[in-house]
Structure 1
Amino acid sequence: MGVENKVAIITGASRGIGKSIALCLASEGIHIVVNGTNEALLTELTEQVESNGGTCIKVAGDASLPETAEKLVEAALDRFGQIDILVNNAGINMRHSTLETTLEDWKKVIDINLTGTFLLSKAVLPAMIKQGAGKIINISSTASKTPHKNAAPSYGASKAGVNYLTMHLAQEMAKHNIHVNAVSPGPIETDMSKQWTPEYRETVVEKIPLKRIGHTKNVADVVRFLASDEADFITGQTINVNGGTFMN
């Protein structure tokens, strides 16, 4: 796949989809730099990667802050001398309705999901431009394309912003051989889905044409493909991984 010995930064990697992506890329021989706010979970992930023969360093911090982006880039360049792949996975959701959503809640979701994606992308671009190559992969959501009553309005809005940012960066950075794509997961088995009631789970599954909830590996496999040489003629795309929940 042409990815061995490349270097990837992955945000929101301590659990769920981000952790699965980290383990998947590490299994391909990619050196990884993982980020999250839970340092204990990041340490566990680092140890797991290294016990399997991979290389992993951790940088704890809030992905919505410029200093975190700077620390991640600095750590990757100091240790490995290059940055080939960025996976913007860090994100949060809230379950508030529009009338229940405070300005503080709105800003928190936008800051982490959208502003964090912008900050990390901007931070890695100088290194990628210098190298003349790079892959940026943003994790979006089906909620960016169709309303979801189980998500706050800020969540879908933030992810729709991620989709646009993906296209804008893809167009702007194509001349530097930097590919920018997004993955849009639907219902996926994570810590969040484990909190669902049996009744709600049944309702969710009933609406999925494939009649099952996806696994984090389903998302990680698409990220691995987009990070590989096999996806070298793909840019500016948002790929659905949702069992047919939303089709376009």
Structure 2
Amino acid sequence: MRLNNKVAVITGSGSGMGRAAALRFAAEGAAVVLADVNDTALDEVCAEIDSAGGKAVSFRADVSSAADVEAMVKAAEDSFGGVDVLYNNAGYWRYAVDGYQVGETDAPSPLLTEDMWDRTIDINLKGTYLGARFGIPALRRRGGGVIINCSSVAAFRVGHGASDAYTAAKGGVLALTRSLAVEHAPENIRVNCIVPGPIATPLVERMPAEDRDAFAKYVPLGRWGTAEDIANMALFLASDESSFCTGQTFIVDGGYLAL
């Protein structure tokens, strides 16, 4: 019960890493506010937490919308009395299974269109900013708390056919994390960033099996990570066990960046 009596808001919690974190946080005693654009997925995760004896409410929110994020935080305070943990997990990367197509995927420039740039930056980077903008006042009202942001190994390692918008957005999340951590440390608000490596999420399942197998060879531990691997790190950062950690980057990649 490491999060007993805590209230956690998790964006992108309808599936993948967000879903795994929501289930883990609830099992550790947190009241969880689930936020996603997929109502059906939210209802399923909420029902799973309820059936296990946990506490959760769902709220449909597009993290690129200031009105949605503000309402999401208000819903958490109205439902559970405040916010102790904000996990900015929601992300977006339009993976091209059949090769890069102009206007359809986050591609290398000049194939990358302005619309796709805007959408990728808005969800990944602006969404993190909006979470902080509306989440920090709620954390202040509780006397402090935790923000967890989500970046990617793409911010560190760029390969052939790099996705320019995604790489730029996730690099920005790292910088924003450091800035927020320094600014708000005097208010007892800790801000850290998780950097997932190759993680087997529903998005990855769209990749051809041979591509997934080939990529695993670049991971020293020899496998894709799981959403639960990331949830374990998020739990550590949300709990008092990480009370002296702020402004830091926590890489969970099976050794991928060590090569």
Q: Same fold (TM over 0.5)?
A: yes
> Bigger shift: 236-245 or 199-208?
199-208
RMSD: 1.3
Which ranges in structure 2 are unaligned for 5 or more consecutive residues?
A: 96-106
Q: How does 1:221-240 map to 2 (within 5 A)?
A: 221-240=232-251
Q: Matched residue of 1:146: which SS?
A: coil
Letter aligned with residue 25 of structure 2: L
Q: Which 4+ runs in 1 deviate beyond 4 A?
A: none
CA positional deviation for 1:130: 2.6
SS of equivalent residue, structure 2 residue 47: helix
Partner of 1:170: 181
Query: 1:2-21 alignment to 2 at 5 Å?
Result: 2-21=2-21
How much does 1:2 deviate?
4.1
Aligned to 2:223, the other structure's residue is in SS state coil
1:210 maps to which residue? 221
SS in 2 for 1:58: strand
**Aligned residue identity for 2:42:** L
Q: Does 1:185 align with 2:196?
A: yes
Structure 1 unpaired stretches of 5+: none
> CA separation of 1:153/1:43 partners in 2, compared to 1, >3 Å: closer, same or farther?
same
Shift of 1:3: 1.7
The Cα of 1:97 is off from its aligned counterpart by 2.4
The number of equivalent residue pairs is 248
TM-score, L = length of structure 2: 0.93
Q: State the AA in 1 paired with 2:178.
A: M
Listed as ranges, the matches of 1:42-61 within 5 Å are: 42-61=42-61
Aligned to 2:85: 85
The residue that corresponds to 2:164 in the other structure is 153
Counterpart contact for 2:88–2:148, Cα < 8 Å? yes
Counterpart Cα distance in 2 of 1:213 and 1:10: 23
Match of 1:105 among 116, 120, 131: 116
Q: Quote the Cα distance in structure 1 between the aligned partners of 2:159 and 2:174.
A: 17
Paired with 2:247 and 2:206, the residues of 1 have a C-alpha distance of: 34
Aligned to 2:29: 29
**Deviation digits for residues 180-210 of structure 1, max 9, x if unmatched?**
0010001011111112223211221111111
Distance (whole Å) between structure 2 residues aligned to residue 149 and residue 32 of structure 1? 39
Q: Which amino acid aligns with 1:81?
A: G
Tell me the SS of whatever aligns to 1:19.
Answer: helix
Provide the rounded CA distance (Å) in 2 between the counterparts of 1:192 and 1:98.
22
SS at match of 2:148: strand
Residue-by-residue CA offset, 1:139-162 (whole Å, 9 max, x unaligned): 110001111446521001100000
For 2:121, what is the secondary structure of its paired residue?
A: helix
Using structure 1 for the length normalisation, give the TM-score.
0.97
CA shift digits 1:209-229 (9 cap, x unpaired): 111110000000000000000
Instruction: Judge conservation of contact 1:225–1:231 (CA < 8 Å) in 2.
Output: yes
Distance in 2 (CA, whole Å) between partners of 1:203 and 1:217 is 22
2:255 corresponds to 1:244 = yes
1:247 deviation in Å? 3.4
Q: Secondary structure at the match of 1:235?
A: coil
Q: Distance in 2 between matches of 1:57 and 1:105?
A: 31
